[in-house]
Amino acid sequence: MAQLPTPFLNDPDIYAYAQKVGTDQLFHNATSSFAASQFKEPYEALIHAITGQHLHSKAVKTIFARLCSLNKTESGTMTGNGHPPSAKVLLSLKDSSLRECGLSNSKIRALKGIAQAQLEGIIPSAQQAKTIDDETLITQLTSLYGVGRWTVEMLLLFTLDRPDIFPADDFGVREGWRRIKKLPQSPSPKELYKITEVFSPHRSLLTYYCWHAKERLLEPTLCQTAP
């Protein structure tokens, strides 16, 4: 197993869990759960994220495939290359065509807002994003309709590979932390974010461990006082 950062070595519970599971499958398991990781540009990742909001994975694949089928070149040739329509193409599509893909009016509004923001330079390219810090990107992108903090945090983790992202509002993260720490209940998101600041600038790794623990670690056995 690769050498753990010092904060992980200094926390007995985290270190013990890290030693138990290693890192070989840690990142694979996490990234395989987020199809958005296949997109390396923020615009495409956001389009995929909005399309998939509040849907099961099978429905997401179907609807996103229909949306991608509307992609075309500037000359009008349909591409069908597995990528969503460019911003210009998306804005040119009729709402009725997008509804036929299975998209709600709210999602259509969000997608077209993202497309407009892409054209206006509000959404940076992956290359441009390298010069923008995490919180600035979160503030910038959550200003768009339908885009919340969690969505941007997933983009930072899986599309931009940022090393210090800890989505404390994520249920899986909080539940994983609770199980690793053998707590009766999870801290609030605000409390958890504060507690885990000691792991900065390596909190993305902590996120992966928490997700892994939520799926793989049994409920903690809590000490009970004998009657």
Can you tell me which residue has the tokens 């990742």? 45
Phi-psi region of 187 (alpha: psi -120 to 50; beta: other; left: phi over 0): beta
Cα 23–chain centre separation: 19
Residue 134: inside a domain: yes
Pair 155, 168 in one domain:
yes
Residue 226: inside a domain: no
Residue 225: inside a domain: no
Pair 155, 117 in one domain:
no
Mind listing the pLDDT tens digit for each residue in 96-109? 999 999 999 999 99
Lowest mean pLDDT among 21-35, 76-90, 170-184: 21-35
Residue 166: inside a domain: yes
Choosing from 11, 161, 169, 170, the catalytic residue is 170
Lowest mean pLDDT among 52-56, 71-75, 187-191: 71-75
Domain end, chosen from 91, 124, 157, is at 124
pLDDT at 224: 45
pLDDT at 195: 97
Pair 30, 137 in one domain:
yes
Average pLDDT over residues 58-79: 80
Pair 29, 50 in one domain:
no
Burial of 126: CB neighbours in 10 Å, binned 0-12, 13-18, 19+:
middle
CATH code: domain of residue 81: 1.10.340.30
Pair 6, 113 in one domain:
no
What is the reported pTM?
A: 0.86
Structure tokens, 135: 């919180």
Domain end, chosen from 73, 106, 124, is at 124
Write out the residue range of the structural domain in which residue 5 sits: 1-38+128-217
Pair 32, 58 in one domain:
no
Pair 9, 31 in one domain:
yes
Structurally, the chain folds into a number of domains equal to 2
Residue 52: inside a domain: yes
> Is the model's pLDDT at 163 over the cut of 80?
yes
Pair 143, 210 in one domain:
yes
Picking from 57, 63, 56, the residue whose alpha carbon sits closest to that of residue 84 is: 63
Strand (E) or helix (H) holding 173: helix 171-181
Pair 22, 53 in one domain:
no
Mind listing the pLDDT tens digit for each residue in 70-80? 987 554 555 55
pLDDT bucket at 115, cuts 50 / 70 / 90: very high
Pair 32, 46 in one domain:
no
Residue 227: inside a domain: no
Domain end, chosen from 89, 124, 159, is at 124
- C-alpha 23/C-alpha 83 separation (Å) is 31
> Is the model's pLDDT at 39 over the cut of 50?
yes
Mind listing the pLDDT tens digit for each residue in 134-158? 999 999 999 999 999 999 999 999 9
> Is the model's pLDDT at 126 over the cut of 90?
yes
Active site residue 170: yes
Residue 224: inside a domain: no
